[in-house]
């Protein structure tokens, strides 16, 4: 249940997205002479002055920040490994692996691993055979017999199993928010604990990552299948899934993080294990600790527990490059839901300056109730019930999308609303003002400072930037970066990318009838 919300936080946090998309450009030249108030650099300096970065000998990056009055700490372990690193056949493996890392080790979660292991091996052999037979011929007469054997084996294995071991250890020690999340770009494991439980956490997590045992695999795969079914009854998720699968024809950003229904149902445990071996490696790993801590003691503990993780070869990036789009793509989804509309254009990711420019465009057009689209189409003309713009989905490690989501007002069709949106975008292109850009900068600055409210959100931002962009300092320079954007750059980016041939449109229509 909670994991779902974690993934959502990554996907939906469009405002915070701005802070993820800082860049590698020289930044000072554009800002010299700008007359912004003193607070403009407070947030960046707050991080710059307080975040301590170290690297373990095996390549793990460690970010630490001592802050706050509360004797608590937020802990996040992130891997640069997400669904974008999967193949067609293994779509969903990163997410299932995340679930399986809650199942314990040779010491955690078992009463007698030596005895349990024999049963686990047989469970895998039977489970893989059932999957293979079902894919070849669902009517194969051996299947019921094997399913009965699997059930019997699972019952035997259950006698050795200690359920929810990690959760029990953390909760009894005051832990909250024990969770994990997988996105297109990364996977994270999080918990918050009283500060004096840091060593307990290091012991548990290092063991968990070094020697995971993928026990109860087929039951957990069923739970993931249930998670997939939940997504399918959520119209918002369905329309976004359709958008990514339509906009990207080759690049793995087209696959849902959770995997396709058929992938989940037949995901091989061997593929999940292979993903772990290939991608859960020190060079792709960041540990972030934010809260009331002693930096040196914290680093010493982390080094002691995580320093022995073995380095493994870097698997490398993906080879697939999304081909140039050569014409508008449209898709229609029908389900029992009020209508929705998604429009998106392809554009470059960080470190392109265009990515920052689209942060400005997204905010000016569709972030906040006084943004162009919301004010015009929801408040003034009342043709939409909701509308917002976003930049940087579905991931940020590779070129991605800028988009607009809208729900039509009662009596307005998605197609009518679509035309209204294009007309407003045209007016924006022709009449953008310096005041609109200044509004975005002011809002970004304010959001940045309010983001620094608690350990968890700071740890999340630092871990994200380090994992996806390779440097948490992107947060420090972000405000200066967007200050470098001017109206000419906005118009140029719109002209270059927001054209018909580069556009994907998905309309969700109500299968129950009506507009």
Partner 1 sequence: MKFKRLVPLKTAAVFMVFCCALLLPHSGSGSSDSIMPEVKSYQLENGVKVFTIDDDLPRTEIVVSISYGKLFEDMHNAGMSDVIANTLLLSGSAKYPGDSVISTLESAGGSISVDAGWESITISVRVLERHTGLAFDIIGDLLTNPLFNSDTVKYSAGYVYEKHRRKMDDPAAKGMAALRSVIFNDKGYGANITRQSISSITESSVREVWARHTTGGNIIVSVSSSMDGESIAGQCKKSFSSVTKGPRQYYAADMDMVKSQIAAKSRNIYLIPADFDQATIICGVTAPDVKYQGNYTIEVMNYILGGGSFGSRLMTEIREKRGLAYSVFSYVASRYSTGFFLCFAQTRNEEAGNVLSLINANISRMYTEPVPGDELEWAKNSIINSYVFTFSKISQILASYFTMEYYDLEPDYYSRYTSRIAAVTAEEITNESRKLFANGLVTVVVGKKEIEKELSKYGNVVIIEEKL
Q: Which 331-360 positions form the footprint of partner 1 (CB under 8 A)?
A: 336-338
By CB under 8 A, which span of 48-56, 175-183, 310-318, 419-427 interacts with partner 1?
A: 175-183
Query: Applying CB under 8 A, which of residues 53, 128, 147, 227 lies at the interface with partner 1?
Result: 227
Q: How far is the CB of 145 from partner 1 (least distance, A)?
A: 20
- Binders of partner 1: how many residues, by CB under 8 A? 83
- CA–CA distance from 343 to each of 84, 395, 506 (Å)? 22, 17, 7
Q: Does 220 bind partner 1 (CB under 8 A)?
A: yes
Question: Minimum distance from CB of 324 to partner 1 (Å)?
Answer: 36
| Residue closer to partner 1 (CB basis): 197 or 346 | 197
- Nearer to partner 1 by C-beta: 3 or 496? 3
d(CA 239, CA 108): 40
Q: Is 329 helix (H, G, I), strand (E, B) or coil?
A: strand
Q: What 3-state class would DSSP assign to 407? A: strand
Q: Which of 233, 249, 283, 308 binds partner 1 (CB under 8 A)?
A: 233
Positions in 433-492 near partner 1 (CB under 8 A): 435, 438-439, 441-446, 449-450, 452-455
State in angstroms the smallest separation of the CB of 222 from partner 1: 3
d(CA 112, CA 125): 20
Strands 61-66 and 72-79: unpaired
3-state class of 38 per DSSP? helix
The reply on whether position 229 binds partner 1 by CB under 8 A is yes
- Of 44, 175, 212, 463, which one interacts with partner 1 (CB under 8 A)? 175
Rounded to a whole number of angstroms, the minimum distance from the CB of residue 318 to partner 1 is 28
Query: 92 vs 235, which CB is nearer to partner 1?
Result: 235
From 83-91, 289-297, 395-403, 465-473, span contacting partner 1 (CB under 8 A): 289-297
Question: Using CB under 8 A, which residues numbered 180 to 209 contact partner 1?
Answer: 192, 194-197
Q: What single-letter DSSP state applies at residue 326?
A: -
> Do 470 and 185 meet the contact criterion of CB atoms below 8 Å apart?
no
138: contact with partner 1 by CB under 8 A: no
Positions 48 through 87 that interact with partner 1 (CB under 8 A): 68-72
Q: Report the DSSP beta bridge partners of residue 187.
A: 79, 182
| Residues 6 or more apart whose Cβ sits within 8 Å of residue 450 | none
- The stretch among 243-251, 318-326, 403-411, 460-468 that binds partner 1 (CB under 8 A) is 403-411
Cα 412 to Cα 515: distance, rounded to the nearest angstrom? 7
Bridge partners, residue 74, by sequence: 192, 290
- Residue from 168, 143, 153 nearest 121 by CA: 153
Tokens read off for 303: 């080094």
Out of 223, 249, 283, 499, point to the residue binding partner 1 (CB under 8 A).
223
Residue number, 43 or 417, with CB nearest to partner 1: 43
Binding of residue 409 to partner 1 (CB under 8 A): yes
Nearby residues of 310 by Cβ (< 8 Å), 6 or more positions away: 58, 282
Residues 449-458 as b or e (16 or more Cβ within 10 Å = b)? eebbebbbbb
DSSP H/E element including 275: helix 269-279
Residue 363 contacts by C-beta under 8 Å, 6 or more apart in sequence? Answer: 18, 371, 389, 439, 440, 443, 444
Nearer to partner 1, 63 or 193 (CB): 193
Structure tokens at 144: 């019921």
Q: Which of 410, 495, 500, 501 binds partner 1 (CB under 8 A)?
A: 410
CB-nearer residue toward partner 1: 225 or 356? 225
Nearest one of 322, 342, 331, 329 to 237, comparing CA atoms: 342
Q: Contacting partner 1 (CB under 8 A), which of 201, 218, 276, 358? A: 218
The nearer residue to partner 1, 147 or 220, going by C-beta atoms, is 220
When the beta carbons of 121 and 222 are compared against partner 1, the nearer one is 222
Taking CB under 8 A as the binding criterion, the range among 134-142, 166-174, 247-255, 487-495 that sits at the site for partner 1 is: 166-174
Using CB under 8 A as the binding rule, the residues of this chain from 356 to 395 that contact partner 1 are 368-371, 375, 379, 382, 385-386
Could you tell me how far CA 488 lies from the centroid of its own chain?
32
Residue 174 as a binder of partner 1 (CB under 8 A): the answer is: yes
If binding is defined by CB under 8 A, does position 105 make contact with partner 1?
no
Token look-up 């314990």 returns 104
């Amino acid at each position: 249940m909670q994991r779902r919300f974690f993934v959502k936080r990554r996907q939906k946090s469009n405002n915070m997205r701005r802070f993820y998309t800082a860049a590698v450009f020289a930044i000072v030249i554009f800002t010299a002479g700008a007359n912004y108030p003193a607070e403009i650099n407070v947030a960046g300096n707050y991080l710059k002055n307080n975040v301590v970065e170290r690297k373990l000998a095996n390549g793990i990056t460690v970010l630490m920040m001592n802050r706050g009055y509360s004797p608590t700490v937020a802990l996040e372990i992130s891997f640069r490994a997400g669904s974008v690193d999967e193949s067609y056949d293994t779509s969903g493996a990163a997410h299932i692996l995340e679930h399986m890392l809650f199942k314990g080790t040779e010491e955690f979660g078992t009463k007698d691993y030596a005895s349990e292991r024999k049963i686990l091996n047989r469970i895998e052999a039977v489970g893989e055979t059932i999957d293979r037979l079902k894919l070849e011929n669902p009517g194969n007469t051996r299947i019921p017999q094997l399913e009965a054997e699997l059930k019997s084996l699972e019952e035997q294995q259950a006698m050795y199993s200690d359920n929810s071991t990690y959760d029990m250890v953390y909760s009894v020690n005051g832990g909250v928010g024990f969770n994990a999340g997988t996105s297109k770009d990364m996977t994270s494991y999080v918990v918050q604990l009283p500060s004096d439980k840091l060593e307990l956490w290091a012991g548990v997590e290092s063991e968990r990552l070094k020697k995971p045992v993928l026990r109860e695999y087929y039951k957990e795969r069923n739970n993931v299948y249930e998670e997939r079914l939940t997504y399918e009854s959520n119209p918002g998720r369905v329309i976004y899934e359709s958008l990514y699968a339509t906009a990207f024809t080759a690049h793995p950003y087209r696959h849902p993080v959770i995997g396709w229904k058929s992938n989940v149902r037949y995901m091989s445990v061997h593929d999940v294990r292979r993903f772990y071996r290939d991608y859960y490696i020190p060079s792709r790993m960041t540990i972030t600790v934010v809260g009331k801590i002693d930096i040196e003691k914290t680093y010493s503990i982390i080094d002691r527990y995580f320093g022995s993780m073995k380095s493994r070869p870097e698997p490398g990036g993906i080879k697939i490059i999304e081909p140039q789009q050569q014409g508008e793509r449209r898709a229609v989804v029908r389900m029992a839901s009020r209508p929705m509309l998604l429009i998106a254009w392809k554009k470059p990711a960080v470190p392109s300056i265009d990515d920052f420019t689209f942060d400005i465009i997204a905010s000016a057009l569709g972030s906040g109730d006084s943004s162009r689209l919301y004010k015009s189409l929801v408040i003034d003309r009342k043709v939409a019930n909701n509308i917002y713009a976003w930049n940087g989905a579905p991931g940020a490690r590779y070129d991605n999308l800028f988009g607009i989501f809208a729900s039509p007002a009662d009596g307005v069709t998605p197609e009518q609303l679509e035309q209204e949106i294009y007309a407003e975008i045209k007016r924006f292109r022709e009449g953008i003002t310096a005041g609109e850009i200044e509004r975005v900068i002011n809002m970004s600055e304010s959001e940045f400072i309010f983001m620094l409210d608690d350990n968890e959100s700071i740890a999340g931002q630092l871990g994200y930037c380090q994992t996806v962009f390779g440097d948490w300092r992107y947060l420090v320079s972000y405000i200066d970066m967007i200050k470098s954007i001017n109206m000419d750059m906005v118009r140029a980016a719109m002209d270059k990318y927001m054209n018909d041939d580069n556009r994907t449109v998905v309309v969700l229509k109500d299968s129950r009838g009506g507009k």
